[in-house]
Structure 1
Amino acid sequence: MRPVILLCLLLAIGCDAAIDQFPANDVYALTLAHSRDVRTELAQRDVAEVIRSLFGTPESPVWPSEIFDGEAKSLVKSESLTAAAGPIFSDREGNNFGLFNKHCVACHGVSGSGAGPAAVFQNPYPRDFQAGVFKWKSTERSAKPTRDDLVGLLHRGVKGTGMPSFALVSEADVSALTDYLVYLSVRGEAERKLLAFAIDELGYDDSEDDSSEFLIEDADVHQIVGEIVESWLDASKRGVPVPKEVASNTDSIARGKDLFHGQIANCVGCHGPGGNGAAVTLDFDDWAKEYSSRIGLTPTNRDAMKPFRQAGALRPRQIKPRQLNQGVLRGAGDGKAIYRQISQGIAGTPMPSLTITKQESATGLTSDQVWDLVHYVQSLGSQPGDTLP
């Protein structure tokens, strides 16, 4: 079905129409089938049963607290799932329900795949939560975001994208949406990892033509899901400390400009001279690469991408480095956030990390030099004639 028609139908029937089951992650299953040269139907069938028994359905989501210990039990609150899921309505006390359907599903999709009916009209695409990879956060590149990171993102929105600010949404509703986002991410990552585990470790392969034997053990499920949840709990311990800011002045900006155009930081190689975005880049983000170049397919080859598009994938788009001289910075956009993005890179994108050294060297930058870069980047958006109207 064409995206425009699907969007029209969604608007016609309402975003709170009942959906009995979460859509299967057919794109990832097809990626595994292509990279392992196996069929995945049996693995998908059994993994779907496990995931449904643990996490419930879009109308009745469940947090499987019984398989966890300690903090993991309450990482996601059941009352948050009740408020975020299901049809949109308010009770007599003014409590709101169906929050995800109301605010998020049109872009992010029922399962948090980032392929909702409105996604095709957006550039960049909405975030896919299922891989557990998040771009805008205060933690290390490979870490999950903290809860404060997610709440802050909902409050601010993401400038230059279709992600709006939810600053006018009540704190209780933002808290419920945050829990539901974590829930969808844990559920989606668990589905992915269990599919890969079933195929790589348990020998699921439809060529054996044995559709009766259920091979997935509870112990393996609990370990895989437990490790995912632990990575969320560990996020608060993996924050990126930001050292004291050096003075922002013309000297610091001049040093930052030299670093921006120099060989060590080499920001100019992607962002262009003066951050004008004029550099030619032919790269894609990690979400697109997963079902294209990383399994030996060309993202721009329509025939190669056709099966993945039919499975629900969005058309791969070349990722464009930020045009810094427009002053539109995603993420928080303040000095500390920019420092973290320069030092850690941006997860899921080609934006690399930098080595932070104690002394100036040919292999990395000192924290003071990173601050000089921050000041230069901040200065670009304030130059006359360079800002957006």
Structure 2
Amino acid sequence: MSVRVGEFDRAGSAVRSRVAVLIAAMLLLPGCDASEERDVDTSKPHGAQFGFQTDIATSLVEEGRIAYQQYCVGCHGAAGDGNGEAAIFLDPKPRNFVLANFKFSSTRSGQLPTDADLKRTLRTGLRGSAMPPFNLLSERTLDGLVAYLKTFSPKWTQRRPAAAIPIVEDPFRDAADKSDAIRRGEAVYHGFVTCWSCHPSYVEESKINVYLEQFGSARRAGFRPDLHLAVAKPNSEGQLIYPPDFLRDYVRAGASVDDLYRSIAAGITGTAMPTWIDSIDVPAESADEPPIVSRSDLWAVAYYVRDLIAKRPPLLAEGKFDVRERPTPIYLYGAPPPATAPAEEAEEAPEIELDE
């Protein structure tokens, strides 16, 4: 069948006219102003929001589940218990979302993190571990992952995340020369907070005693023999973990001064690292004198640790490093039952040859 050009133009014109009329009619319906953008409530399924395709609509949690299957299940496992297929090859092990003990947060040690804390870990990753940064994911996808992670543990329905720790003013922020902050941080690190109980000491024993006396503590006659090395301590799951040596190791939750302040002030959940924001205010004997130590000194410690990290060489020379094998785990809640020996296989009966 042949169509002449004039007929085709008339047919096309008629179709276009009908489409134009249909669009105009739709625009005249209530709530269909083309110049007005509709706000989407991302907490509800898209189908419920727009009133169509409710059978395939995905909620925020469902979107998070899909993203989890794509990015997270290989390490953290389908059940969120940290036993994905790749977990056997990883050290440190992937986070167990069922226990909901999130190490790095802006809340006090032992408390649930905020959504912003979880998104920060997803966005930046954890250095020195198999957790990469997912900084190319959209905010919507990150929100979905956070919502889905909360479905693994009943803790999220039993209690709400606590408020973030207070961030006191940084008295050293505007100083071009941070040497005063670093010197003060060295004194607080060794003399008041005594970080060398777990982390290494970066000064000699005699100087530690000077710092101890500066903050009103007694001198010590002796110190642990491995004073300049990190000491392994058990975490809440019974594993021995090493706190970082700032001249050698990665700082997982970020090495900026702000990141370090947050980790020092809030503590590290599930480890021996306590919340220092509540334990560092010691007033002077006289009201006219400055406090012996205050919350602002946590900034000084952060600047001191940042200075140590900056001194770390790009590569450690031969003989300047060692392999720290993780010792046998300590089980805080009783050792697991011993593995049962495999049943002995029954001996096969000898074949009997029959004479034909």
TM-score bracket for this pair, using the shorter chain length: 0.5 to 0.7
Q: Which amino acid aligns with 2:62?
A: T
Question: Hey, what does 1:156 align to over in structure 2?
Answer: 124
Is 1:340 the counterpart of 2:262? The answer is: yes
For the Cα contact (< 8 Å) 1:272–1:278, is it kept in 2?
yes
Give the 3 Å change call, closer, same or farther, for CA 365–338 of structure 1 in structure 2. farther
Is 1:176 the counterpart of 2:98? The answer is: no
Greater than 3 Å deviation, 4+ residue runs? 275-278, 386-389
Alignment of 1:223-238 (within 5 A): 228-229=156-157, 231-232=159-160, 234-235=161-162, 238=163
In structure 1, distance between residues paired with 2:261 and 2:227: 20
In structure 1, distance between residues paired with 2:316 and 2:138: 30
The superposition leaves residues 171-200 of structure 1 with CA deviations (integer Å, 9 ceiling, x where unpaired) of 2222211111111233xx4xxxxxxxxxxx
1:243 to 163, 168, 183: 168
Alignment of 1:54-73 (within 5 A): none
* Greater RCO, 1 or 2 (C-alpha within 8 Å, sep 6+): 1
Alignment of 1:1-389 (within 5 A): 79-85=59-65, 98-186=66-154, 189=155, 228-229=156-157, 231-232=159-160, 234-235=161-162, 238-247=163-172, 249-262=178-191, 264-274=192-202, 278-279=228-229, 281-287=231-237, 289=238, 316=239, 318-326=240-248, 328-354=250-276, 355-357=279-281, 359=283, 365-383=293-311, 385=313
Q: Give the Å deviation of 1:358.
A: 5.1
For the Cα contact (< 8 Å) 1:83–1:176, is it kept in 2?
yes
Q: Which amino acid aligns with 2:63?
A: A
Q: Give the Å deviation of 1:357.
A: 0.6
The superposition leaves residues 295-320 of structure 1 with CA deviations (integer Å, 9 ceiling, x where unpaired) of xxxxxxxxxxxxxxxxxxxxx4x201
Provide TM-score, normalisation by structure 2.
0.58
Q: Which stretches in structure 1 are left out of the alignment for 5+ residues?
A: 1-62, 64-76, 86-97, 190-227, 290-315
Q: Give the Å deviation of 1:164.
A: 0.6
- Higher helix content, 1 or 2: 1
Question: Hey, what does 2:52 align to over in structure 1?
Answer: none
Give the 3 Å change call, closer, same or farther, for CA 78–368 of structure 1 in structure 2. same
Q: Which amino acid aligns with 2:300?
A: D
Q: Give the Å deviation of 1:385.
A: 2.5
Q: What is the number of residues matched between the two proteins?
A: 229
For the Cα contact (< 8 Å) 1:256–1:376, is it kept in 2?
yes
Q: Which stretches in structure 2 are left out of the alignment for 5+ residues?
A: 1-42, 44-56, 204-225, 286-290, 318-356
The superposition leaves residues 264-307 of structure 1 with CA deviations (integer Å, 9 ceiling, x where unpaired) of 211122111239995352422102x2xxxxxxxxxxxxxxxxxx
The superposition leaves residues 317-370 of structure 1 with CA deviations (integer Å, 9 ceiling, x where unpaired) of x20111212473222433333223223321111112331215269x98411221
Give the 3 Å change call, closer, same or farther, for CA 388–345 of structure 1 in structure 2. farther
Give the 3 Å change call, closer, same or farther, for CA 280–168 of structure 1 in structure 2. closer
Q: Give the Å deviation of 1:82.
A: 2.2
Give the 3 Å change call, closer, same or farther, for CA 345–100 of structure 1 in structure 2. same
Indicate the structure (1 or 2) with the bigger Cα radius of gyration.
Answer: 2
Three-state SS of the structure 2 residue aligned to 1:100 is helix
For the Cα contact (< 8 Å) 2:83–2:94, is it kept in 1?
yes
- CA RMSD of the aligned region, Å? 3.0
Provide TM-score, normalisation by structure 1.
0.53
For the Cα contact (< 8 Å) 1:327–1:387, is it kept in 2?
no
Q: Which amino acid aligns with 1:331?
A: A
